[in-house]
Structure 1
Amino acid sequence: MPADGTLPQQLSPEGIRALRAERPEMRARDFATQHGIAEAELVAAQIGTTATAIEAHPDAIMPRLTALGDVMALTRNESCVIERRGTYEEYHSGAHAQMVLGKEIDLRLFAQHWAHAFALEDGDKRSIQVFDRAGDAIHKVHLKPESDVAAFHALVAELRLPEQSDQLDLAPRARIEAAKSLPEKAETLRAEWDKLTDTHQFLRLVSKLKMNRLGAYRIAGTPYATEMAPDAVEALLTRCAADQTPLMIFVGNAGCIEIHGGTIETVKPMGPWINVLDPRFNLHLRGDHIAEVWLVDKPTKNGPALSLEAFDRHGALIMQIFASRKDGGVEVFNATIRALPRLEGQA
Structure 2
Amino acid sequence: MSPSPQEIRAAKAEATLRDRDLAASLKISEAQLVAAHVSVSGPFRATRIRFHPDDVMPVMPRLGEVMSLTRNESIVLERVGTFGEYRSGPHAAMVLGKDIDTRIFPKHWAYGFAVEADGDHGTRRSLQFFDTTGEALQKVYLRETSDAAAWAPLVEELTLDDQSDAITPEPAMPTEGPKADAEKRDVLVAEWQKMTDTHQFNRISSRLGMNRLGAYRLAGSPYVRAVDPGCVEGWMTALSETRQKVVFFVGNRGHIQIHWGTFDAIKVMGPWLNVLDPMLNVHLRADRVAEAYVVDKPTKRGPAISLECFDAEGGLIFQCYGQRESEEDTLDQWHGILDRLPAVREAAE
Partner of 1:22: 14
SS across alignment from 1:231: helix
Instruction: Report the Cα offset of residue 326 of structure 1.
Output: 4.8
Distance in 2, Cα, partners of 1:100 & 1:215: 30
Distance in 2, Cα, partners of 1:83 & 1:174: 24
Partner of 2:208: 209
Cα 1:166–1:326 shift into 2, 3 Å: farther
1:12 maps to which of 4, 22, 26: 4
Instruction: Report the Cα offset of residue 26 of structure 1.
Output: 2.3
Letter in 2 for 1:232: C
Partner of 2:342: 341
When structure 1 is superposed on structure 2, of 156-165 and 319-328 the one drifting more is 319-328
Deviations 1:275-313 (A, max 9, x none): 111111000001111110011000000000000000011
SS across alignment from 2:232: helix
Letter in 2 for 1:43: V
Instruction: Report the Cα offset of residue 329 of structure 1.
Output: 6.8
- In the TM superposition, what are the counterparts of 1:219-258 in structure 2 within 5 Å? 219-258=218-257
CA RMSD of aligned residues (A): 1.3
Partner of 1:319: 318
Instruction: Report the Cα offset of residue 345 of structure 1.
Output: 5.6
Matched residue pairs, number? Answer: 337
Instruction: Report the Cα offset of residue 233 of structure 1.
Output: 2.1
Instruction: Report the Cα offset of residue 331 of structure 1.
Output: 2.0
SS across alignment from 1:242: helix
Partner of 1:114: 109
Partner of 2:308: 309
SS across alignment from 1:130: strand
Partner of 2:56: 61
Structure with the bigger percentage of strand: 2
SS across alignment from 1:333: helix
Partner of 1:5: none
Distance in 1, Cα, partners of 2:316 & 2:117: 34
SS across alignment from 2:94: strand
Distance in 2, Cα, partners of 1:294 & 1:256: 22
Partner of 1:48: 39
Q: Does 1:37 align with 2:28?
A: yes
2:68 maps to which of 65, 69, 73: 73
Distance in 1, Cα, partners of 2:48 & 2:107: 18
Partner of 2:154: 155
Distance in 2, Cα, partners of 1:329 & 1:128: 40
SS across alignment from 1:276: strand
Letter in 2 for 1:276: V
- In the TM superposition, what are the counterparts of 1:41-190 in structure 2 within 5 Å? 41-49=32-40, 50-123=45-118, 124-190=123-189
Native 8 Å contact 1:323 1:329 kept in 2? no
Partner of 1:295: 294
Letter in 2 for 1:10: S
Letter in 1 for 2:35: A
SS across alignment from 1:198: coil
Cα 1:329–1:145 shift into 2, 3 Å: farther
Deviations 1:93-151 (A, max 9, x none): 11211111111111000110100000012342100000011111000000001111221
Distance in 2, Cα, partners of 1:186 & 1:232: 28
SS across alignment from 2:145: coil
Deviations 1:9-51 (A, max 9, x none): 311000001111112x421111111111110011001101311
Distance in 1, Cα, partners of 2:17 & 2:331: 42
Partner of 1:331: 332
Give the TM-score normalised by structure 2. Answer: 0.94
Distance in 1, Cα, partners of 2:289 & 2:71: 15
Letter in 2 for 1:323: G
Instruction: Report the Cα offset of residue 325 of structure 1.
Output: 2.2
